Amino acid sequence: MAARLLSGHEAAEAVYAELKARLQGLPFTPFLRVLRLGEDPASVAYVRLKDKRARALGYRSQVEVYPEDFPEEALLRRIQELNADSEVDGILVQLPLPRHIRPERVLEAIDPLKDVDGFHPLNVGRLWSGGEGLFPCTPLGVVRLLKHYGVDLKGKEAVIIGRSNIVGKPLAALLLREDATVTLAHSKTEALQEVARRAEVLVVAAGRPHLVGKDWVRPGAIVVDVGINRVGEKLLGDVHPEVAEVASALTPVPGGVGPMTVAMLMHNTLKAALLRRHGASS
Ligand code: NDP
């Protein structure tokens, strides 16, 4: 059996069509501000992608670029200005930050109502307590991708490999909210392969190229590969392509979760605009 490929491009287009429809008739244009420090090539590329997509949708978008050695206090002051600017709906500070800047100080400085990356502790708390808020884009993208392809998560045995604050942990909260039974595995998990084989839905976000082979996958499982690993000229996922022989569905790398992350940033920007104006996103 060859696994069905779950295209992130296709699912992202559906998100964009929905956002465009919702934008029509709104009396305002969502405004996204992205701050980047330094010239890390991956960050430059990601920020360009976000800005381009926001403009293509009809949002206002502005990127601010600061030098690698920009002081932390100056960055915090700039965030306060953007917090106070009533025209600005979403503020995103591109990660990773230079070493001299403490990411937690930066993430906590952003107004939770403008926190389109969903990393502010208030939004993290709301995610886990079941409330309304802004939640991280990549995990949102994973869930949206699965829903686009009709995957019913209710009661499913879901295993996530990776427990970062950006992907694994918030995804565990989102899958719980979808009534999946969730296991969050990591580098200290014993018998990881056996744990992975229990999964009806297996999500891999470890940042280890081709960590998961076909022996790790329960026949018929749905496998989501979040990994993006640059190996020489190639971009490799955390899942070996041979997994397609046993899984019922698999996300490609590239073209799987990546496009969904940008799509959910656009979703969050509109949601932030609505939350700030009306206290609700619909
Ligand atoms: P982190 O490095 O922050 O976290 C990796 C997690 O994987 C940790 O919890 C770590 O465990 C766990 N892990 C590492 N190696 C193993 C292993 N051999 N076995 C089991 N668990 C392991 O990475 P991120 O969460 O930020 O990113 C993960 C991957 O997803 C990366 O490839 C990244 O590029 C990609 N990514 C893709 C995005 C997209 O849009 N498609 C967006 C964000 C990330 P421990 O906690 O014990 O150290």
* Single-letter residue type at 188: K
Cβ-contact 130, 179 below 8 angstroms: no
Summarize pLDDT for 201-242 with one digit per residue, the tens: 999 999 999 999 999 999 999 999 999 999 999 999 999 999
Q: Whose CA is nearest to atom 30 of ligand 1?
A: 227
Q: What is the mean pLDDT of residues 118-130?
A: 98
This prediction has a pTM of 0.98
CB of 163 sitting under 6 A from ligand 1: yes
Q: Which long-range contacts (CB under 8 A, 24 or more apart) does 53-57 make?
A: 53/262, 53/263, 53/265, 53/266, 54/266, 54/269, 57/16, 57/19, 57/20, 57/23, 57/266
Q: How far apart are CA 3 and CA 25, in angstroms?
A: 41
pLDDT at residue 1, rounded to an integer? 64
CB of 159 sitting under 6 A from ligand 1: no
Residue 227, CA atoms < 13 Å, CB-side half-sphere: 28
CB of 250 sitting under 6 A from ligand 1: no
pLDDT at residue 282, rounded to an integer? 65
Q: How far apart are CA 210 and CA 254, in angstroms?
A: 13
pLDDT at residue 279, rounded to an integer? 83
Pocket test for ligand 1, best of 142, 143, 163 (most atoms within 8 A of CB): 163
CB of 230 sitting under 6 A from ligand 1: no
Q: What is the mean pLDDT of residues 4-12?
A: 98
Quote the mean pLDDT of the chain: 97
pLDDT at residue 278, rounded to an integer? 87
pLDDT at residue 39, rounded to an integer? 97
Give residue 173 CA to ligand 1 midpoint distance, Å: 17
Percent of the chain with pLDDT over 70: 99
φ, ψ dihedrals at 160, nearest 5°:
-110, 130
Q: Kind and range of the H or E element at 91?
A: strand 90-93
Q: Which of 90, 92, 79 is nearest to 114 (CA)?
A: 90
